[in-house]
Structure 1
Amino acid sequence: MTSAMSGTQAAGRPVRLPRSARRKQLLAAAQQVFVAQGYHAAAMDDIAERAGVSKPVLYQHFPGKLELYLALLDTHCDAMVSRMRAAMEATTDNKERVRGAIQAYFDFIDHESEAFRLVFESDLRNDPAVRERVDRVESGCIAAITDTIMADTDLSRARAELLASGLVGAAEVAARFWVAGGRQVDKPDAEALLTALSWRGIASFPLHGEHA
């Protein structure tokens, strides 16, 4: 019995789960199907079967496949932005903040590979609703870093945003390259390399009250 089906049946009879628990179960099943088959090939029948529920039960929670897919994206996009904000708030050491930003992407792609594939490698990225959510991850992570840069330096928002976008872009592209290349560099070493590269640039900007 898959994890998505846990709690679905007991002694051969359906178990009535609280609505929030059922929704979580259905999202887990949908994620497995979408990652394995892609959005276009996945069917609601497949998702219901994976979850161990009837299609009417599935439709009680999600009116269609797109709504189900978007709900999954919302969950993972919000989690990624929260991860980045947590990295910025975890310390006042700016080098460690840079390390945290890099690590947020490496952890996401390494420990939550299914979620990463849904957000960044979706076969539905041209859909406006999907594109909006993917863009929201990028803009949310950039905003978190921008706020931190502006709090510590005299840079304008436009300049801080440009720096933040460079850090986010480097972290995402490097993490994807690292996985696609078979993780040939140990994860801590990969994160340290990117941190050193990024920190050497960002550290050149003086803090409030300092002179360049």
Structure 2
Amino acid sequence: MSETVQSNGVGRGARLPRTARRAQLLAAAQDVFAANGYHAAGMDEIAERAGVSKPVLYQHFPGKLELYMALLEKHVDELTRRVSEAMESTTDNKVRVHNAVAAYFDFVDGESQAFRLVFESDLRGEPLVQDAVERATNASVDAITATITADAGLDESRARLLAVGLVGVSQVAARAWLADNRTLPKEEAIGLISNLAWRGIGGGFPLHPHD
């Protein structure tokens, strides 16, 4: 199913499949939410940025919260995927730690607007937003916990606490690196944080042979 844009915006007259139109609307919404925050963002402005009429926007998203949540869920899924892939990409635990840290830095570097929407939203008091952000953190912790439990021979409670620590230091360090305008080269920053984490995890909890 294709749609024709009715407004005087950028895409006037363009016909797009529904999935392509949805992606276009989410991209426009991200720009507006990142620039203005949730509360100051308006559906009029988002429609104008996307080059569509408001009725077209409302065909896809019945309200501003639904639009915001669709965008947030998209980024939560992306971050979760990055961390899970970091754990599955190798059996070398030192490389896994490096890749887990890198997942956060890469997310920040490539999608800094997305990172701010996930972790610095002005809508954090909204239960739906809280749930989505917690899902991002918990899914990352779960992926790392499963690996540490299997490879370090720790019970789940201890492995989970270590995983929470790794996710926490990765997230906070990546945000600080971004706030400092990427002063350090990304690979150097990742190396510093992953070495810090690995000295704790690798030194204190060596690889445990599987049965």
TM more than 0.5? yes
Q: Report how far residue 100 of structure 1 moved.
A: 0.3
Deviation string for 1:141-177 (max 9, x for gaps)? 1011011111212211111100000000000011111
CA distances 1:3-46 after superposition (whole Å, capped 9, x unpaired): xx76x23xxxx222111111011000100010011100000000
Q: CA RMSD in A?
A: 1.3
Q: Which residue of 1 aligns with 2:180?
A: 181
SS at match of 1:17: strand
Matches within 5 A, 1:29-44: 29-44=28-43
- Residue matched to 2:4: none
Gaps of 5+ in 1: none
Measure, in 2, the Cα distance between the counterparts of 1:153 and 1:30.
43
Q: How does 1:1-212 map to 2 (within 5 A)?
A: 8-9=11-12, 14-203=13-202, 204-209=204-209
Per the normalisation by structure 1, the TM-score is: 0.91
What percent of counterpart residues are identical?
A: 61
**Within 1, Cα distance between the matches of 2:150 and 2:38?**
41
| Residue type at the aligned position of 2:65 | L
- CA deviations over 1:47-104 (Å, ceiling 9, x no partner): 0000110000000000000000000000000000000000111111110000001000
Structure 2 counterpart of 1:160, one-letter code: A
Q: Aligned equivalents of 1:197 and 1:119: distance in 2?
A: 25
Distance (Å, rounded) in 1 between the aligned partners of 2:77 and 2:36: 24
In structure 2, give the amino acid aligned to 1:208: H
Letter matched to residue 32 of structure 2: V
Partners of 1:182 and 1:32 in 2: CA distance: 19
Report the Cα offset of residue 117 of structure 1.
0.9
Matched letter for residue 146 of structure 1? T
Q: How far apart in 2 are the matches of 1:176 and 1:209?
A: 36
Number of aligned residue pairs: 201
CA distance in 2, matches of 1:59, 1:184: 41
How far has the Cα of 1:206 moved from its partner? 3.0
Q: Deviations over 1:108-145 (max 9, x none)?
A: 11111111111111110111000111111110110110
Counterpart of 1:207, as a letter, is L
- TM-score when normalising by structure 2: 0.92
One-letter amino acid matched to 2:127 = P
